[in-house]
Structure 1
């Protein structure tokens, strides 16, 4: 059963049975997110983006993940399962997910949603009470390129951000390890923002949406006509191998992002 939060004319719909994704985010009657079973906005954990050939190491142990985007493994496992509701009221909700195969380590992922009249705050944590393991976490929202609503279709969305660098993307769609000056789009690329993520989407004369996070990595994907993705995440694609962040019993992984909007 879906969970709905409301605050003023903002309405958030969460589908815990379908990966605890945001199935809808409506502001003033306009749906911001692309609709469909694969879309909305889904959580990414225990890794983000592509993991090269589905392989990663944890110390001396080598693991193989299913190649759900051949030849790589993409976007983690938590978007594919059902989450357990923990607590909810009119404006907030918390859900939990137990990590299971094909992820090789036991652990728990939690998501918290907090809605106000002009913002949505997302929090995610990855923790273990047993073996330590490398992990990543983040979100993959699919924003409509053109908003529809009571006033009809908007102009196409405009994207504004000032990254410090872009991860050079190889032919295999993975970062090469080189940091380059940001290139013009269209993108399916990861950018570094060491002062924290700060990206603004503007639908002219309709709505401005600002995405902020203390996380330093954001993937922008705008190669499709229907949608634009701005993905806050705790590390770059293939980060399980190139920039592993170890989750231990005393040091969970935590990430937070805020979507704040204003009418234009």
Structure 2
């Protein structure tokens, strides 16, 4: 494992994965059996490179507006006029733990409900096992999660 402030590199056999905590906690590169499985160009737009966590919502929130528990909310329009794929992919993620073949990341969610998201990424010679979780920290909250591409 190689870790610096911008990237964690995991290598198992001929499988390689880079993780970018400061770039939305995304997987930047994923190579298995000599094949790159992702667009690994970090100079591309945030929506188009790597594999990133969509949290606390996945997909599009039309015009960034929704209602929950009798209240109306306006989300930032990060793809005007809509809010898309949450806030996780543009947030900095904390490295909780990292080893030769895995890393654990977490971020606090910067939206009206708060909350926290975690990722466990585990590389082996056959590919990647990944777990993404979201937690309410103070009040009930809506949530939808996933990765793009998935």
TM-score, normalized by length of structure 2? 0.89
Secondary structure of 2:19's partner? strand
CA offset digits 1:40-59 (Å, max 9, x no partner): 11110111110111011121
* Contact 2:32 2:127 survives alignment (8 Å): no
State the match for 2:67 in structure 1: 57
State the match for 1:93 in structure 2: 103
- Identify which of 115, 129, 136 aligns with 2:123: 115
CA offset digits 1:61-103 (Å, max 9, x no partner): 1100111222211010010011000011111110000012xx1
C-alpha displacement at 1:29, in angstroms?
3.4
Alignment of 1:18-167 (within 5 A): 18-37=23-42, 38=46, 39-100=49-110, 103-141=111-149
TM-score, normalized by length of structure 1? 0.51
Gaps of 5+ in 1: 142-230, 232-264
Give 1 or 2 for the bigger CA radius of gyration: 1
Aligned residues: 140
Gaps of 5+ in 2: 1-5
C-alpha displacement at 1:129, in angstroms?
2.5
2-structure distance, mates of 1:46, 1:115: 24
2-structure distance, mates of 1:70, 1:91: 38
2-structure distance, mates of 1:124, 1:117: 21
2-structure distance, mates of 1:33, 1:119: 13
Q: CA RMSD in A?
A: 1.1
2-structure distance, mates of 1:133, 1:49: 17
2-structure distance, mates of 1:128, 1:76: 15
